[in-house]
């Protein structure tokens, strides 16, 4: 302070200094208050920060001044309220969900029924085909029809047709043999191939409890030389 200042100037200078000090102290308090506020906000959890951001300034101040337990409770309550679906909307949602499940169940049932009907139709179709193509092959017509249906479904039309053609050839040979076994040809007797196969077929049918035709087929399979002789005799 200059030594040549008058008392009045000194008083004025001191007053100015006091004002500046007061301003500095006031600014410091503001900065400290802001720093304390930012620090308090940084310590909030994510849920509390989300709730805090939606409050007005007065509400934010009150929230920061509250205890940790109160803040957590307020934030949790607000989030629960925000996430809660209105009762009318929830009821409508439940109804629609049930309707969708019911429709899905009905569709699945309808599909299953349609599948069963389609399978039954195919069995009838292939049973007729088996009666035409494999009349001499042992087995009930429906059993042979199901067998042919499975062939076409698993192999496809082209490959299944080839297999059926082979089966038809075998069926035709079996038909000739069956006819020869039952025919009244000259020279037929107990020692002919036909008679021997017939006897073997009947024995197999009796012992293994299968049809006569199945017995003939098994007799041919187990006695290939006899079968060849019998088939050659019919040609």
Report how far residue 11's alpha carbon sits from residue 20's, in angstroms, rounded to the nearest whole number: 14
- Please compute the mean of the pLDDT values over residues 65-92 and round it to a whole number: 72
Least trusted range by pLDDT, from 78-87, 137-146, 214-223 = 78-87
Q: Averaged over 44-64, what is the pLDDT?
A: 75
- Tokens 């249906």 correspond to 149
Per-residue pLDDT, averaged over 25-41, amounts to: 67
171 neighbors 163 (Cβ within 8 angstroms): no
| Structure confidence by residue, pLDDT tens digits, 139-180 | 788 888 888 888 888 888 888 888 888 888 888 887 777 665
pLDDT value at position 32?
67
Measure CA 155 to chain center.
Answer: 26
Q: What contacts 24+ positions apart, CB below 8 Å, involve 149-156? A: 149/119, 149/122, 149/123, 149/125, 152/126
Nearest 5°: the CA angle 99, 101, 105 is: 115
Q: What is the pTM of this model?
A: 0.38
Structure tokens at 79: 């989030």
Band (pLDDT 50/70/90 cuts) for residue 185 is very low
User: Which pair of structure tokens corresponds to residue 64?
Assistant: 């920061």
Q: What is the pLDDT of residue 231?
A: 63
Domain ranges of the chain: 8-83, 87-234
């Amino acid at each position: 302070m200059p030594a040549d200042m008058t008392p009045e100037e000194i008083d004025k200078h001191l007053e100015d200094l006091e004002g500046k000090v007061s301003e500095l102290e006031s600014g410091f308090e503001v900065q400290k208050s802001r720093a304390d506020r930012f620090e308090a906000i940084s310590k909030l959890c994510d849920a509390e920060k989300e709730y805090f951001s939606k409050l007005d300034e007065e509400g934010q101040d009150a929230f920061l001044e509250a205890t940790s337990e109160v803040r957590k409770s307020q934030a949790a309550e607000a989030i629960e309220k925000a996430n809660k679906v209105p009762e009318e909307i929830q009821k409508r949602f439940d109804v629609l969900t049930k309707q969708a499940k019911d429709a899905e169940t009905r569709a699945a049932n309808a599909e299953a029924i349609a599948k069963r009907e389609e399978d039954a139709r195919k069995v009838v179709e292939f049973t007729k085909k088996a009666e035409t193509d494999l009349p001499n092959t042992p087995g009930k017509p429906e059993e042979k029809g199901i067998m042919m249906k499975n062939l076409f479904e698993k192999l496809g039309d082209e490959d299944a047709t080839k297999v059926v053609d082979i089966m038809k050839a075998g069926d035709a040979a079996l038909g000739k043999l069956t006819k020869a076994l039952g025919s009244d040809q000259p020279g037929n007797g107990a020692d002919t191939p036909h008679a021997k196969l017939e006897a073997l077929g009947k024995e197999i049918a009796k012992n293994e409890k299968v049809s006569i035709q199945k017995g003939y087929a098994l007799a041919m399979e187990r006695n290939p030389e006899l079968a060849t002789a019998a088939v050659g005799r019919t040609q």
